[in-house]
Amino acid sequence: SGYSKETLRQRELQLSVLSAESLRENFFLGGITLPLKDFNLSKETVKWYQLTAATYL
């Protein structure tokens, strides 16, 4: 079950970051789309990415 690595390399990961306000509505802080073909899917990746206004929302 799951996807093959070749299938995943053709996909993108879309991330959205929201605030976590306990008494208020959460609001959008930024997002990023990462093409999985740019990653070695056999290894962990630790990296900071610049968030931007999301165009996919």
pLDDT digit string, tens, across residues 1-53: 588 989 999 999 999 998 887 777 888 889 999 999 999 988 999 999 999 98
pLDDT at 54 over 60: no
| Residue appearing with tokens 């993108």 | 12
The answer to whether 49 touches 33, Cβ cutoff 8 Å, is no
Q: Enter the DSSP assignment of 52.
A: B
Residue type for 4, please?
A: S
Q: What is the pLDDT of residue 33?
A: 94
pLDDT at 56 over 70: no
Q: Could you tell me the domains of the chain?
A: 1-52 (2.60.40.150)
- Here the tokens at position 21 are 């306000």
- Confirm whether pTM is higher than 0.75: no
